[in-house]
Amino acid sequence: MSKIKDCILIDLPKIIDSRGNLAVIEKQAIPFSFKRVYYLYDVRSDAVRGGHSHKIQHKFLIPLSGSFDVVLDDGSEKKILNLNKPDTGLLIPNGIWRELENFSAGAVCLALASDVYDEEDYIRNYKDFLKSKNQ
């Protein structure tokens, strides 16, 4: 069972240049192969995204622009991380409830998923999530 301590910030390789910086996402940068990429944008500052856990999938979130908070919950501990650096991503393993909130104006969240979309992999009800952690 995943715990909050398993959610880690990972610095991406970057090239600093006076013309603009470049961050690199290669398979050795994150600890899983990703099969799906999507991004959140135009999120209102009072909106909450996420609100689920995964049975199998892992996610890696990167704040490409702006900032947002990620509320992590393993069923016994909660932690809030503010993501605001486009060269640092957050690894969220399966079995962790997550909510994204407090989006700044113009924030863009890039998500890399370890598998293609599968509704059966989602736990969308918090009480069901807690039950799954106590099995």
Catalytic residues, by residue number, are: 52
Dihedral angle computed from the Cα positions of residues 92, 110, 130 and 94, in that order, rounded to the nearest 10 degrees: -40
